[in-house]
Homo-oligomer: A and B are copies of this chain.
Amino acid sequence: MFTTVLVANRGEIALRVLRTCREMGIRTVVAHSTADRDSPAVRLADESIQIGPAAPRRSYLNPAAIVTAALQAGADAVHPGYGFLSESPEFAEICQAHGLTLIGPPAGVIARLGDKARAREFAVRAGLPVLPGGQGPASGAAEAARTADAVGYPVVIKATAGGGGRAMTVVHEPGAFTRAFDATRREAVALFGDPRVYVEKYLDAARHVEVQILADSHGNVVHLGARDCSVQRRRQKLIEETPPPNLPSATIEHLGELTVRAARMAGYVGAGTFEYVLDERGACHFIEVNCRLQVEHPITEMVTGIDLVREQLRVAAGQPLGYGQRDIVCSGVSIECRVNAEDPARGFLPTPGVIEEFVPPGGPFTRVDTHVAGDTRITADYDPLIAKVSVWAPDRAQALARAHRALEEFTIRGAGVCTDLAFLREVLAHPLFRYAKHTTSLVDQMMSTPLS
């Protein structure tokens, strides 16, 4: 096992990784920007190294700074968390070149699966169902438009290097195609330095379902069930749930088996997520792979009892998985709500500021992952995530009631700081959500109906 792990992230996920390292007796070094100098992860770490200013480009997205810090601290491994450099094949290669183990899949796997067009080609070979679309990146607007015509509108134009819902444009009719194509290419260059885009059928009313896998370097791959992540705002998840409601367990099991087979074929090692959309008839289509820990991993931990970060560290250290597929029993229902510093009434605009009063919920089957305490500054430099509230219960009705109760007792107060707490409760109470008839369009539907 590793002696020292450098945590190359911030916020709740830095704390999350640090906690498991602590429990495993691994020394932790937290690399942080000037803005996070006084964060709880820095306070709790065995050592901390300031790697740059608040701007991520010069700190959490700066491979040289992170690797230098890791070498300075004598770390033998780096945990990238989620976001930032967690899915950068270049960063994985740099770590390897400097004798550092990056906790995640091998660089080659990230490169292959992180490129959306290549991942789609791989999925076809691996026998995963995909949405109709072009074969690889479009060579030009005309060819892409022909693909769009062939699959039928609406379509989505996506950057092959994209992620996080950015550089993605939905086109509803042929007349708008060329302009959207050019705009997406420009955005792809600006955001990812890579102009390649591809075209795929777009599902208006879809459910977003993902399968969590764990794989070791000895060829063992298991899945830990599926999560429904259909409640999204601006293509970013707000509420996640496992198991996906209203989905036959045979469907989940089948999707799990398909995913395990594909992951094995890809030579996957570590924790990973295969994302799918389900159309109105319940048919699944592969979308992409996330080669890292997900924000929403706690709900999988709650139904399986498995510490995913622990398994990540174990397999990165070359140990075999601690669980075979038969050892993994998913019991009950778990729901995560993302509490963000943002204003739902103003298009979920982030509302940075200082949180003065902060009393998280507690009690039975309620887990809070947060880096916030009283007097914490939420800056505009980073994601506005304040806390993840995850609950577990034997069935969905109790889990919904518990989530509602937990959100209700959460006190967050600070000048200028808005949160989505009230909005999350509205989602939990929404009939479409209650009856599990919701799709990724739920939030838009709610926002287009004025609050009474």
Contacts and interface: CB of A to CB of B under 8 A. Distances in A.
A219 interface: no
Nearest to A310: B398
- Copies of this chain, how many? 2
Given A22-B408, A401-B24, A405-B19, A394 B305 contact: yes
Nearest to A370: B362
A364 B24 contact: no
A390 to B, nearest CB: 9
Contact of A301 (B360, B364, B370, B402): B364
A216 B353 CA distance: 52
A287 to B, nearest CB: 28
Interface residues of A, number: 42
A298 interface: yes
Contact of A363 (B367, B373, B374, B409): B367
Interface in A1-56: 15-16, 19-20, 22-25, 40, 44
Contacts of A365: 301, 305, 307, 367
Contact of A25 (B22, B359, B363, B401): B401
A366 B373 CA distance: 17
Contacts of A366: 367
A364 B298 contact: yes
Which of A16, A23, A25: most chain B Cβ within 10 A? Answer: A23
25 contacts: A15-B363, A16-B363, A19-B363, A19-B364, A19-B405, A19-B409, A22-B405, A23-B398, A23-B405, A24-B401, A25-B401, A40-B359, A44-B408, A305-B331, A305-B332, A305-B392, A309-B364, A357-B374, A360-B360, A362-B367, A362-B370, A363-B367, A364-B367, A365-B367, A367-B367
Interface of A: 15-16, 19-20, 22-25, 40, 44, 298, 301, 305-307, 309, 331-332, 357, 359-360, 362-370, 373-374, 392-394, 398, 401-402, 404-405, 408-409
